[in-house]
């Protein structure tokens, strides 16, 4: 154990070596990156949006996968409205009835059309109004490949053009939802 004081008049002897489990680490040769990494491992809390998507999709979203999704869905897309919508989706802040109800801006968290809980996933992919659009896109554009919920939300890792097209479709589904919700 090391007793460290912030009193500048007191000399503090920090040991050069310390024991961590069965290994001995030499503090004098470690760079700050080493300490920063261990500090992050001990106190870092994953973003709530990451936890939300892990619980919703059942996927184990690791930092690298999420980072690639941000690149595919935000950084590569030059249109600011599409990138903003994708940012809101990935961070779970896109206004939908579930979020609006949680933020106390809506009386209900149910979908206007199918009366199920309206999450971002439901609004953009699972709703009875959105699902036929994805089925049509799957048949017309992809042929043999399937468009899954995860591809719609996190992007397609092999094709930036397809990601852009999916982002446009998601944007217009969301804008149509906005119009319908404003008109009741």
pLDDT averaged per 10 residues in sequence order, the chain, 184 residues: 60 54 59 78 76 76 73 91 94 93 92 92 94 89 78 85 92 93 81
Sequential DSSP letters for 12-70: ----SEEEETTEEEEGGG--HHHHHHHHHHHH----HHHHHHHHHH-----HHHHHHHH
pTM for the full predicted model: 0.73
Burial 22-40 (b: 16+ CB within 10 A, else e): eeeeeeeeeeeeeeeeeee
Q: What pLDDT does residue 6 have?
A: 62
Cα dist from 178 to 12, 79, 172, whole Å: 62, 20, 10
Q: What pLDDT does residue 120 have?
A: 94
What are the tens digits of pLDDT across the range 35-56? 788 777 777 677 788 878 878 8
């Amino acid at each position: 154990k090391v007793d460290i004081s912030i009193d500048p008049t007191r000399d503090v002897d920090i040991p050069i070596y310390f024991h961590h489990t069965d290994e001995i680490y030499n503090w004098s040769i470690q760079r700050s990156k080493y300490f920063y990494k261990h500090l992050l491992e001990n106190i870092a809390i994953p973003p709530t949006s990451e936890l939300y998507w892990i619980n919703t999709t059942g996927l184990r979203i690791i930092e690298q996968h999420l980072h690639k999704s941000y690149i595919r869905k935000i950084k590569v897309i030059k249109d600011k409205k599409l990138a903003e919508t994708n940012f809101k989706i990935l961070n779970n802040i896109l206004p939908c009835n579930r979020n609006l109800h949680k933020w106390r801006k809506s009386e209900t968290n149910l979908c206007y059309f199918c009366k199920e809980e309206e999450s971002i996933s439901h609004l953009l992919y699972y709703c009875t109004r959105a699902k036929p659009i994805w089925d049509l896109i799957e048949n017309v554009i992809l042929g043999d490949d399937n468009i899954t919920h995860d591809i719609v939300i996190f992007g397609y890792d092999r094709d930036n053009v397809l990601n852009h097209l999916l982002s446009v479709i998601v944007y217009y589904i969301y804008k149509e939802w906005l119009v319908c919700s404003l008109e009741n």
